[in-house]
Every structure is written in C-alpha cells, then in structure tokens.
Amino acid sequence: MADKQIRQRDDAYFMQAALKEAHKAELAGEVPIGAVIVREGTIIARGHNKRETLQDATLHAELVAIRQACRHQKSWRLDGCDLYVTLEPCVMCAGAIVQARIRTVYYGAADPKAGAVGSIINIFDLKQNHRVTWQGLVLQESCSQILKDFFAHRRAADKAAGSRAARRAAALAEQSKRLGLSDEQSFPADLP
C-alpha cells in the first residue's frame, strides 16, 4: 500500500474495522465487541468476542486479536503495535495488553461496570514495567449503539422466550448447529 494511503488512515478508520469485527460477533450471537491491532499503518490482527461460541471465558476480542498478532509477529512482544477495541478493555484484557507491550490502546465506548482503563480502575496507570498510552471514546456513539441494540434485542428475545434460561438454551442449540456448519475460519488449533 502506498505511504500516502497509510497516512490517510486514522483512528476512525481503524475503529471502523474493529466495529466490523463487532458485527461478526453479533452475527454469531455474541456480545458485539471487536478489536484490531495495527502496526505501521496496517492491520495485522483482528478479533471478535467468541466467549459463547467456544465457551471460553478468555476469548474476549482483545485476546483473540493479541494471539493472532503474536503469531503474525512471531513474537509475544507487540512493540510498536496499537490496539483498537470497540469497548473499554476489562481487567484481564488490560493486563494482557501490558504483557504484550502494546503501545497505544484506542477504545470506543466506556464500560462503567467492568472497564479497566479508567472506569473501575486504570490498569495502565499502575506502576508496571511497560507503559501503555490510551485514548477513549473513539467513534463512541457507533460503538455503544451496537451494544445497546444487541441488549435491546436480547431483552425482547428473553421476553418472547418466556425467560432468560429458555432464550439461552435456544441460543446454545442454534450455536452448536452453526458451529457444525460454519465455513468461517475456526479458532486456531493451537489453543491449549
């Protein structure tokens, strides 16, 4: 890609790419959160929330993207890499971001209940061996709207199904069906 084009890419451009990932999560029945990792103006990794699909508590969008970026860089050190995520990272993801030596984090919507970049705590402000810089509220409106819509639909589905448990059971059955048929790239086999 031409240098000029690279320079024209900005925070909004990369957050749009993260939003695209969030939509993928939504299509799979997941809470719509997406992330991308950028190095020298190029997206080197993408991830979206896969917690329900793979029933794995650690598969937040950021961690999926970090794992992919480490494979891409053939290194656990993501020096000079920036992460864009549609929702303020949680404690686990903020910790992993420090561990991976990510340079800057840009997030979309704040998460007052679990956000660890200023909402309930700021992990990046702690004295650690690596300092992450961060910027919040990039495309905040779109990033929070996709979540609001998702939860509104889910509440409606709960109501229609009679209970949250009934809706969850139906969603799980639907997910296993989809897993069997999915032509989407499955999660890499190197997961422990």
Give me the residues that bind Zn ion (CB under 5 A), please: 60, 90, 92-93
- Separation CA 22–CA 43 (nearest Å): 16
Nearer to Zn ion, 37 or 93 (CB): 93
Whole-number minimum distance, CB 62 to Zn ion, in Å?
A: 6
Whole-number minimum distance, CB 28 to Zn ion, in Å?
A: 17
Nearer to Zn ion, 84 or 167 (CB): 84
Nearer to Zn ion, 69 or 90 (CB): 90
Whole-number minimum distance, CB 85 to Zn ion, in Å?
A: 8
Give me the amino acid identity at 13.
Y
Q: Which of 71, 77, 70, 136 is nearest to 107 (CA)?
A: 136
Q: Which of 20, 29, 130 is nearest to 65 (CA)?
A: 20
- Separation CA 68–CA 46 (nearest Å): 7
Whole-number minimum distance, CB 6 to Zn ion, in Å?
A: 29
- Separation CA 112–CA 73 (nearest Å): 33
Whole-number minimum distance, CB 110 to Zn ion, in Å?
A: 14
Query: How crowded is residue 176: how many other Cβ atoms within 10 Å of its Cβ?
Result: 11
Closest residue to Zn ion, judged by C-beta, is: 93
Nearer to Zn ion, 25 or 90 (CB): 90
- Cite the active site residues: 62
Going by the DSSP 8-state scheme, the letter that residue 184 receives in this structure is S
Name the strand (E) or helix (H) holding 171: helix 164-181
Nearer to Zn ion, 92 or 137 (CB): 92
- Separation CA 54–CA 104 (nearest Å): 28
Tell me the two tokens of residue 189: 């086999």
Beta strands in 40-150 (DSSP E): 42-48, 81-87, 104-109, 133-135
